[in-house]
Amino acid sequence: MTIDHTHDENKNLLKGLELSDSLRIIETLEELRVSGKVSDIPILIEMLHLSQDPEIKSRISSLFGNLKESDAIPLIIEAIQNQKYAPELKELVSSCWENGLNYSTYISLFIDLLIENELEVAFEAYTVIMNNEHKIDQAIIDKEVERLEKALPGVSETKRQLMLDVIDFLPSIGF
């Protein structure tokens, strides 16, 4: 997605998403991959939520996984935090590690997702955390390690192992 086309061109492109023809929608999604704008993300999130077509859902998830503009981060985070999009949570969280953008300021959110969600979403949050290459304030790291340690007794063995890995990893990114 880039930001180098006019508002009118973008409006015309987005009209392709309003059609009921799934092939035209897929074509439009491919055009957005090249010439889409960050401002298109809320529309795509809504489409991910409403569409029943697995191919369309897959294409939108792929688009999110290939985002390169840091302006997209708050939009993805907002959708992750919105209960309306709970059915798409796994796809939204996985896009965060796939696109490689810097989500380090949202480390507490990903810790929450790890602790509070079923294994599929927890694993995606774990992957976001473990792929973080940015330094985080040591006070935040200490607080998150403490939260993870408190949550350990009430989780499955698989989630427990993920959480222990994160507890071991977090000090390495503290400053």
Cβ(134)–Cβ(105) below 8 Å: no
Cα 102 from chain centroid (whole Å): 11
List pLDDT tens digits, range 53-107: 899 999 999 999 999 999 999 999 999 999 999 999 999 999 999 999 999 999 9
Per-residue burial over 74-90, b = 16 or more CB atoms within 10 Å of its CB, e = otherwise: ebbbebbeeeebeebbb
Cβ neighbours of 146 (radius 10 Å):
11
Burial of 4 (0-12, 13-18, 19+ CB in 10 A): exposed
pTM over 0.75: yes
The model's pLDDT over 159-168, given as tens digits with 9 standing for 90+, comes to 999 999 999 9
Phi, psi (5° rounding) for residue 174? -80, 150
pLDDT at 18 over 60: no
Query: What is the model's pLDDT at position 36?
Result: 82
Residue 41, burial from CB neighbour count under 10 angstroms (0-12, 13-18, 19+)? buried
Query: For residue 145, what pLDDT is reported?
Result: 97
**Measured distance CA(41)–CA(1) in Å, rounded:** 10
Using DSSP's 3-state secondary structure scheme, residue 16 falls into: coil
